[in-house]
Amino acid sequence: MDLGIRGKKAIVAGGSAGMGKSAAVALAREGAELTIMARGEERLVAAAHEIAAETGANVTPVVGDQNTVAGREALLKTCPDPDILVISGGVPRMLSGYEEVTEKDWLESFHTELIGSVELIKATVGGMAARGFGRVVNIASLAAKTPVEARLLSGSMRSALINYSGVVARKLASKNVTINNILPGWFHTAGSRGLFESKAAANGTTYEVEAQRWAETIGIPSAKIGDPEDVGAFCALLSSKYASYVVGQSIAMDGGLLRIVF
């Protein structure tokens, strides 16, 4: 299936690992010209070389923090007119209770989970509208849709981000610019790997055993932890010519964990 994005310019902010890297790979396979950004130079450059070697795509790495003015300026200097923007933000620490959250924590989360993404969207969608094509995908969090105390810092700001995205998406939809959000549940990422490896060491088991136990314990209907490649492929679909009628949506990818109708 040709998604119609060959030759399109794509930015993946947070594209050196996890779901962001999976999105970058999926877009590269579809023939997009990639610019990927992350803070860690060694991992970022390695990811760029790996993606280019696998897909034959042009991949340009930009070292920086998307949540800072300097980082966004460096990114947009390298790719000033993207057709596709995928934003994969970091994940704040898990909490043991709401009481431990300080004012400083809220302010840091505000900048890293909300403002950086908002400013990057605002800086790029105007050009997309002028050219008559644009796709923005936020890789957010299931906690944006359902209150989870351990994910309070992330969920609160991601809820604000999807509200903002819905407003802007509807304003630009007639220009063939869409903004949508993916809300991942539990996936095999660096964060979950640390959790399951720690449990395996404590229980004398393996990563695979503990991941399966976790899926069963929290009641994921699909009975497994998710594969980041699924998120990447879905990002590519939402970035495609076929996504013009998907506007301002927040789509849970959680194996059926969230038990709601809408």
pLDDT recorded at residue 178 = 98
- What is the DSSP code (8-state) at residue 195? H
Is the Cβ–Cβ distance between 181 and 121 less than 8 Å? Answer: no
Q: What residue segments make up the domains of the chain, in order of their start?
A: 9-185+227-252, 188-225
- Chain center to CA of 79: 19
Contacts of 121 (CB under 8 A, 6+ apart): 85, 87, 136, 164, 165, 168, 179
Report residue 243 as tokens: 């996504």
Return the amino acid letter for 13. Answer: A
The lowest-confidence range among 37-51, 84-98, 224-238, 248-262 is 84-98
Residue 40 in this model has a pLDDT that exceeds 80: yes
Q: How far apart are CA 174 and CA 24, in angstroms?
A: 27
Higher-scoring residue by pLDDT: 133, 259: 133
Of the chain, the percentage scoring pLDDT greater than 90 comes to 87
Residue 67's contacts (CB-CB under 8 Å, 6 or more residues apart) are: 89, 111, 112, 115, 116
Please say if the pLDDT value at position 262 is more than 90: no
Q: How many CA atoms lie within 13 A of 135 on its CB side?
A: 26
User: For 174-222, how does the pLDDT look when each residue is reduced to its tens digit (9 = 90+)?
Assistant: 999 999 999 999 999 888 898 899 999 999 999 999 999 999 999 999 9
Tell me the H-state helices in 92-151: 103-109, 116-131
Q: What is the mean pLDDT of residues 230-255?
A: 97
Is 80 exceeded by the pLDDT of residue 92?
no
Query: In angstroms, rounded to a whole number, what is the distance separating the alpha carbons of residues 140 and 123?
Result: 19
Superfamily of segment(s) 9-185+227-252:
NAD(P)-binding Rossmann-like Domain (3.40.50.720)
Torsion angle in degrees (nearest 10) through CA of 63, 239, 114, 168 = 130
139 bridge partner residues: 88, 182
What are the pLDDT digits (tens) for 2-28?
Answer: 999 999 999 999 999 999 999 999 999
Alpha-carbon gap, residue 58 to 80, rounded angstroms: 16
d(CA 92, CA 156): 11
Residues 6+ apart with CB under 8 A from 214: 186, 195, 196, 199, 225
